[in-house]
């Protein structure tokens, strides 16, 4: 499984979500692609003030803060 974190380098929420994802990544072994929305005008237009946004393909898992129940359900831990 490959998840994508849409991110801004200067965004403290982005760095917080990235750090909070690390133990989940260690436990579940998913690949995590981190994309800086400011490096791509299309991504910036799409996500702008929503970052950080955690996605699996086109499916949004959460934005702004890591939604633990949503991530756990997505990874098959609950539900």
* 20-74 pLDDT, tens digit each: 999 999 999 999 999 999 999 999 999 999 999 999 999 999 999 999 999 999 9
What pLDDT score does 40 carry? 96
Instruction: Name the pairing type of β-strands 2-7 and 31-36.
Output: parallel
Residue 78: what pLDDT? 66
Confidence band of 6 (pLDDT split at 50, 70, 90): very high
Average pLDDT over residues 10-29: 96
Biggest alpha carbon distance in the chain?
37
Please state whether beta strands 59-63 and 53-56 pair in parallel, antiparallel, or not at all (unpaired).
Answer: antiparallel
Evaluate whether 33 touches 2 at the Cβ level (below 8 Å): yes
Cα 75 to Cα 8: distance, rounded to the nearest angstrom: 25
| pTM as predicted | 0.93
pLDDT score recorded for residue 77: 78
């Amino acid at each position: 499984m490959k998840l994508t974190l849409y991110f801004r380098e200067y965004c403290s929420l982005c760095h917080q979500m990235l750090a909070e994802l690390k133990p989940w990544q260690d436990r579940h072994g998913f690949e995590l692609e981190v994309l800086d929305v400011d490096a791509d005008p299309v991504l910036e237009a799409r996500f702008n003030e929503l970052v950080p946004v955690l996605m699996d393909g086109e499916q949004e898992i959460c934005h702004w803060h890591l939604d633990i129940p949503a991530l756990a359900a997505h990874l098959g831990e609950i539900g």
